[in-house]
Structure formats: structure tokens, C-alpha cells
Amino acid sequence: MSIHIVALGNEGDSFHQDSRPSGLIRTYLGRSPLVSGDESSLLLSATSTVARPVFTEYQASAFGNVKLVVHDCPVWDIFDSDWYSSRNLIGGADIIVIKYNVNDKFSFHEVKDNYIPVIKRALNSVPVIIAAVGTRQNEELPCTCPLCTSDRGSCVSTTEGIQLAKELGATYLELHSLDDFYIGKYFGGVLEYFMIQALNQKTSEKMKKRKMSNSFHGIRPPQLEQPEKMPVLKAEASHYNSDLHNLLFCCQCVDVVFYNPDLKEVVEAHKIVLCAVSHVFMLLFNVKSPADIQDSSIIRTAQDLFAINRETVCPGASQDSPGNPPLRVIVKDALFCSCLSDILRFIYSGAFQWEELEEDIRKKLKDSGDVSNVIEKVKCILKTPGKINCLRNCKTYQARKPLWFYNTSLKFFLNKPMLADVVFEIQGTTVPAHRAILVARCEVMAAMFNGNYMEAKSVLIPVYGVSKETFLSFLEYLYTDSCCPAGIFQAMCLLICAEMYQVSRLQHICELFIITQLQSMPSRELASMNLDIVDLLKKAKFHHSDCLSTWLLHFIATNYLIFSQKPEFQDLSVEERSFVEKHRWPSNLYLKQLAEYRKYIHSRKCRCLVM
């Protein structure tokens, strides 16, 4: 049997530390005749106690064969640094000792403001001792001069200590010194009284448990084991930004070409990506009008930097593009044009890598003034209408938050005809889209639009086997890298669509959504829901969702008593039924033991104390 004591607070005098003896707990353990233990075994340093480094641990023997364990924490900062261990120790304490020095008001307020609220929350009929240690330095000085008044204010009065003890229902002790009288007889007497009470209570509880166990002579209640751990689903990392970055170099679905002032081709790009990050390009490509933007600086930037060439052919222009030829844009500023490829790479990468952009521009433009001029133009291009340029300090802004434009701004073009160059026909309705985004985000779409297929030259493309709502959710993921299905059924439909177009990350997102929804359902809802879990399993297997199908088998086995009562349970294959029966919870063995135990209880005509 053991007694656990937790000591909190600092009883040391901050003004007389050199003359102080050992602490209260250490002194008591070393002097009490009821406590045995030599000096070498008394202290276990906090560094060697890996499980609870917050406390200094003392171990000794009391009353001959009772193990005495004391955990002492003098500093609140250390106590608060490992809240989990500290809370567990206080919750498991048999006696709590709170100590402070009467000449150190800081230690008193640390106890009152920090330790006491924690103890109040965790206190459960545990005796508490409040020990005020030391002799007040100004107790015999009736002088009222400012200096003495200041000194008197630094001491903790008896009234304050008693009031603190009343709040906790604790025993209040004043220990003027740590000698044999105050430690051995005064503090030790009270502590040993509470130790005896704790031993009596533990002995009584032990006897009750023994009587309870003796009431079940032969058969004990069966122990229900925990169900098997469910398979862990590993999420696939997003490659959204790399997809859009690669679009710049693949030269597919190009619909705009930039030229220098000498009408030589500089770089190809995509309107949809440029408009997603910049209102300047929205104005240039007629997505928005000057009246919509209402920002003179953006309008001026578009007019000063770019001009659309309306001629039929420009020197060096590519003429083998199907459909409408790319729009030709002349860059008026020669310096800006020389750095345009770097600027577009910066935009296609997410428009946040400012340091790399500045470094690339500095390599091309040796003059620092020219570098600053180009950077300012880039900031104007990324400016939000009606707001002061928030990109004034690029490095500061980058450190605070990257500029992720695509996953928010591309949603502006979702299911809208602006800049759309393909239309999907689904269930009698049409859905406009943009080839550049589809090609960048989906390999099946890229092959469909760039291969020898009908879709490569057609504007209207029919879609079969998918509802409009599901296909719109699929497009939302391609445009924004996120989706939020309305429920398990829609998530399964979206998973099937993702498998059809080979978008593996969207499949994983749908799998995770279905698993999260099922795990959050209470047993009563699982029993009453109309969702066919076996049909869900078969669809997952048919569409090569191995992770979800394995998880669903484990889920059916874990909730065996619920799903085995449903008619669709009979639709499981022989192999699936064998797996479920093998991993079912609770197991057949447990149910058999439970039936035997109930039969035994009823035969003895006694009341089960466990169930």
C-alpha cells in the first residue's frame, strides 16, 4: 500500500536564500521518526524521472511498510509546462500540501492565483494543508514611515492565509522555522493524521472489493475486448499549384500570345489563369469593363503596358492552332517584356515567390532602378480594385501569408461562359468550362482534348453516366482543389466520377468523407439509416477503391450486431462473409461466455453487480 503526497509552492525566502535550511518536505522526510529511508535513496532527481519531469520526486517508507511517494513542484512555470502530467498527479493525490513564505508575497500570489484554481477543479475530498513558512521580518516594527509600510506590504498576513484555507476547506499552519518542533510535532502531526486517514480509507475500499469478488465464486463476468483498429487512410498530397505551373510549359490550349514592341513572339499563356490573378488582364480580355473595376490605377496599368493587335497575322505567329487563333497582345514596355517569361512563371506558380522573382529579374536587368520599376508594375498587375496596394513590401507579405489566388479566383469562372472554350452537355443542360484548367488538372481530359479524338475539335461534348450535380462537383474540385459533398450518396457518385476520369486525389477525398460520416454516426442512427452499406461496399470494389472497400468490411465487422440484422447483409459474398465473421465484434466467444454468466447469475437468484 502507498500514500501519494503532492506539494506545491515555494517556501523559500527570496531575500534570505543563503541562510535557509532545506525545504519543508525534504526536512520532514529527513527528521520524522515514522519515515525511514537513507539520504541516497530519498531523492530521485527530476531528470531521472522521465515520466514526470515536472516534479521532484521523493520516496520513503512510513509506518514500517507503507510506501510514501512525494512529488514536489515549487515553480508554477514548470508545473504549467506539462499540464497533462500535473493534472494526473493532482487527481491521484491522497494529500495536497500548499506552501509559501510569509515574507515573499509573490510566492503567495503564485499559489493563490495559479495553483488554487487548478486544485479546486481537481479536488475530490482530498485533505489539503496550507503551510505558511517563516517569521515576518517587520512584525515587531510598529513604525509607520513609508519604508516600513512598504516592507510590511511585502509580507503575507495571517488573515490572508486563513482566508485562503477557508476557500479550500484546508488546514492552515504557520511554521515560524523548520526546527524539530514545527516540523516534527506541528506539521508532522497534522500530516501523519491525514496519512492514517488515507490508509484507513484505502483499507476499507480494498475490503469492499474483496467482498465483491468473493460473491462470484467460480464464474466471473466476461471481459469485452476492444474491437480491431480500423485501417488508416493515407491522404494524397495536393499537386494543384504544380499542375497549373506545368500548364505554362506544356503549351496546350494556348489562347493568348505576347509579343515585344518589335512584334516578335515572347511567350504563350492562358487567359483563364491570367484573369484569375489580375484585374488588369480581366480588363484587357474584356472579362470586366472599366465601370465594373472602378479603379483608375488598374485601368492606367492596362493601357500603359499592353495593346491588343487586331491584325490577321503577326510575324512568327503560329497558324496551326485549331478553332479560334490565340489573341495577340503587344507588351509596350521593353524592360517589362524582357522579364515577362519570369513574371508569368511567378504567376503560374501561385504569385507568392517574390524573392525568386526579384532574383530572376535582377539577373536580366543589372540596373537596380529598372528592377524596382518592373517589380512595381507586377504589384500593379496584382492589385485589388479599390484597395491600397497591399504588396508594398513583398518580403513582409510573403512571410505573413502566401498569395494563393487560383483556388479562390478560379471559382469565379466555374460554370460561367466567360472565356469558356468548351461546353459539356449533361442531362439536357449545358455546363461551360475552360480547356486549359481541365487539361492541367486531369490527365484523361488532357488526352481527350489533345489526341485524335472527336472531343479535340468539338466545342459541345456530351457526358454520360454522371448527373449534372456530380459533374459540377467534379469541376469544382478541378478549379479549386476542394469539394464538399452533400452526403454519403453524393460522395460515392463523385468518387465514381473521379475514378472515370482517373483523378486519384479526389477519390481519396471522397473516401475520407464517407469514412468520416460513417464514423460520426451513433449506433442508433446506423441501425435506422436507409443507406445500404453492402451496396456501398460493392460499388467501392467495382470502382477500384481498395482502401474504402477494406475499411467498409472492417466497419461492418465492428458493428456486426447492427448490420447482421439488415436484409442486405445476405448480399455479402462468401469471401466477404468469412472476413466479417472472423473479425466480428463482439466475438462469438464473448457472447457465449456472456450467456453462461447470465445463466449462472439467474441460477443463483442473485443480482449481478457488474452488468
Take residue 22 and report the three cell numbers written for it.
532545506
Percent of the chain with pLDDT over 90: 38
> Of the given ranges (36-50, 256-270, 522-536, 562-576), which has the lowest mean pLDDT?
36-50
Cβ-proximal residues to 486 (8 Å cutoff; 6+ apart), any chain: none
Cα 54 to Cα 49, 68, 80, 83, 537, distances in angstroms: 9, 19, 9, 9, 50
Confidence of residue 283 (pLDDT cuts 50, 70, 90): very high
Whether the predicted pLDDT of 124 surpasses 80? no
CB distance 456 to 449 below 8 Å: yes
pLDDT of 556 reads 95
Distance in angstroms (rounded) separating the CA atoms of residues 142 and 433: 90
- At 6, the pLDDT band (50, 70, 90 cuts) reads confident
Mean pLDDT along residues 35-63: 57
pLDDT value at residue 29: 80
Which grid coordinates are listed for 87?
A: 493534472
Positive or negative torsion for Cα 82, 85, 91, 96: negative
- For the chain, domain boundaries: 2-36+52-137+154-209, 239-311+324-382
- Residue 403, φ and ψ in degrees, nearest 5: -90, 85
Q: According to the 3-state scheme, what is the secondary structure of 15-48?
A: CCHHHCCCCHHHHHHHHCCCEECCHHHHEECCCC
Distance CA 353, CA 246 (A): 16
pLDDT at 38 over 60: no
**Residue 401 confidence (pLDDT) above 70:** no
pLDDT of residue 420: 94
Is the previous residue joined to 146 through a cis bond, with omega within 30 degrees of 0?
no
How far CA 107 is from CA of 5, 80, 104, 115, 571, in Å, comes to 20, 15, 6, 11, 70
Least confident range of 97-111, 268-282, 392-406, 423-437: 392-406
State pLDDT tens for residues 446-463.
999 887 888 888 899 999
The answer to whether the Cα torsion of 244, 250, 254, 259 is positive or negative is positive
Question: Cβ distance 156 to 105 under 8 Å?
Answer: yes
What pLDDT is stored for residue 460 in this prediction? Answer: 93
Residue 300: the pLDDT is 93
| Most confidently modeled range among 204-208, 317-321, 418-422, 592-596 | 418-422
- What residue ranges in 299-366 does DSSP mark as E strands? 306-309, 327-331
Mean pLDDT of the chain: 82
Which band of pLDDT confidence, cut at 50, 70 and 90, is reported for residue 51? very low
**How many residues are given for the chain?**
611
The more confidently predicted of residues 347 and 407 is 347
Neighbouring C-beta atoms of residue 553, cutoff 10 Å: 20
Q: How confident is the model at residue 53 (pLDDT cuts 50, 70, 90)?
A: low
Q: Are the CB atoms for 100 and 156 separated by under 8 Å?
A: yes
Query: What global pTM score does this model have?
Result: 0.61
Mean pLDDT of 259-263: 92
DSSP assignment string, 570-600: GGS-HHHHHHHHHH-SS-HHHHHHHHHHHHH
Confidence of residue 37 (pLDDT cuts 50, 70, 90): low
- Taking the alpha carbons of 34, 40, 46, 51 in that order, is the dihedral positive or negative? negative
pLDDT of residue 252: 85
Residue carrying the nine cell digits 539577373: 363
For the packed helices 340-348 and 368-381, what is the interaxial angle rounded to 10 degrees? 40
Q: Residue 61 has what pLDDT?
A: 83
Would you state the pLDDT for residue 295?
87
User: Any idea which of 99-113, 120-134, 216-230 has the lowest mean pLDDT?
Assistant: 216-230
Query: Pick the residue with more confidence: 62 or 386?
Result: 62
- The answer to whether residue 79 scores a pLDDT higher than 80 is no
Q: Write the CA distances from 362 to 54, 218, 355, 374, 609, integer angstroms.
A: 53, 87, 10, 10, 81
Q: What is the CATH number of domain 2-36+52-137+154-209?
A: 3.40.50.300
Residue 304 pLDDT > 90: yes
Q: How confident is the model at residue 168 (pLDDT cuts 50, 70, 90)?
A: confident
Which CATH code, of 3.30.710.10, 3.40.50.720, 1.10.1740.10, 3.30.70.600, is assigned to 239-311+324-382?
3.30.710.10
